[in-house]
Amino acid sequence: MLNDCMKKRDVVLFIITVIFVYIIYRVIMTSLLLSSPIVKQDDLINNSQVSAEKLYDESWRTVKKNYIDSTYNSQNWSVWRERYKNKLKTDEDARVAIETMLASLDDIYTRFLSKTEYAEQYNSIDSHITGIGVNIMNKSGQTVVYSVIEGTPAQKSDIRANDIIMYVDGVNVSGLDISKVAEKVRGLEGSIVTLKIKRGKEIITKKIVREKIEIKSVESSIKGNNIGYIKIKSFIGSNTASEFVSALKNIDSTKGLILDLRGNTGGLLANAVIVANLFISEGKIVSIVSKNGKRHDITAQSKVPLVTKPTVVLVDESSASASEILSGALKDNKKAVLVGNKTFGKGLVQQIVPLPNGTGINITIAKYLTPNGTDINKKGIEPDYKVKYTFADMIKKNDTQLKKAEEVLDKMCSN
């Protein structure tokens, strides 16, 4: 997928370009108070211990300073500062009070992070978790395994796709939020988790030792008819952009590219910007609008695009945030055709702010626009070719969207 004439000099120029894009990103994001993805986790955790009231006040001030909506959902934010004065004694008191305060913003993305949740955020950025290595989804209230990561404890214990997790350590997880189930499955390295699963009519109990699992966010392969395929599963890992470059090298000889962003709920904005810059040689990639209404245009930095062959991007209703930044940039700049379902519609930018006691707040500080100036928040991006892909199709391994992408790409390559 890289230009055929790319020599050593081009490789050096490419590396310089990526570094330059990242520097530009850092400058813009610093002005927006965004956390830097290359700062070590220990530097981002505030382990100072304060009282429950002090933690609440720190949270209040963080929102006051950074939240994108200066009306705070049409309310007097100062009222909240005194709401719980002399009433908070424990960390649990503080958590309940902070969550109640944040709920008044009516913003599902602005939320308090407990010590455990805050640590998990940066485990993801460091591209590892401690668990068993399964990807799960909620299907009609049931926790279904939709894939098992190769070489992990789950695979070694013969956990399979389509297994239904019924109990985790004796706790019935039916109807439980998928994030809560994931939290129960994860744990300390070397500890044991007991799963009771349903496989067809059979009920099976598995005792699995948790391990540290390195997360690869990009995978690649070559499909029939000489089509390159790259799936970016998440933009959260600090290695995502470099993994994508390696994937491009793996499919260098193919005639076209299918870029799969289905199920990718987002991650670091920098990753989306860098990947987009590989396709786009000039013009806007994304615009960031901050609290004061100031607009920052992030533009392409490379003089020559490194990916030049026909590209189809697969999207669905779970493609969100950074996935929408990339797909929106490629669509608006006419660098790719979109196939699948309308994307999720998350056009907001969050900052993770560390708070005392090892906690933090994930807070909305800006919104973004696609290169054409489109605000996709709560609207999503419509694909050029809308194709359904049902749960029944998935069970039958009949990927209707991928088949359509291959068909569209074949036509693009023949023109």
Q: Please tell me the distance from the alpha carbon of residue 87 to that of residue 369, in angstroms, as a whole number.
A: 42
Tell me, what DSSP letter sits at residue 357?
Answer: G
197 in Cβ contact with 159 (< 8 Å): yes
349 in Cβ contact with 368 (< 8 Å): yes
379 in Cβ contact with 345 (< 8 Å): yes
Q: Please tell me the distance from the alpha carbon of residue 251 to that of residue 267, in angstroms, as a whole number.
A: 24
Catalytic residue among 321, 323, 367, 404: 321
Give the residue from 341, 308, 159, 162 showing the smallest Cα distance to 228: 308
Query: Tokens 């260098």 correspond to what residue?
Result: 252
Q: Please tell me the distance from the alpha carbon of residue 158 to that of residue 148, in angstroms, as a whole number.
A: 9
Catalytic residue among 290, 332, 335, 367: 332
Tokens of 133: 């290595």
Q: Please tell me the distance from the alpha carbon of residue 315 to that of residue 235, in angstroms, as a whole number.
A: 14
Q: Please tell me the distance from the alpha carbon of residue 143 to that of residue 101, in angstroms, as a whole number.
A: 31
273 in Cβ contact with 26 (< 8 Å): no
Give the residue from 262, 246, 240 showing the smallest Cα distance to 1: 246
Sign (positive or negative) of CA dihedral 156, 261, 37, 348: negative
Q: Please tell me the distance from the alpha carbon of residue 357 to that of residue 4, in angstroms, as a whole number.
A: 53
User: Strands 256-260 and 311-315: what pairing?
Assistant: parallel
Tokens of 211: 């391990």
Packing angle of the helix pair 91-103, 52-66 (nearest 10 deg): 20
Q: Please tell me the distance from the alpha carbon of residue 360 to that of residue 59, in angstroms, as a whole number.
A: 8
Query: Other C-beta atoms within 10 Å of 230: how many?
Result: 22
Catalytic residue among 233, 284, 335, 346: 346
CA 96 to chain centre: 27
Q: Please indicate whether residue 346 is annotated as part of the active site.
A: yes
Residues noted as catalytic: 321, 332, 346
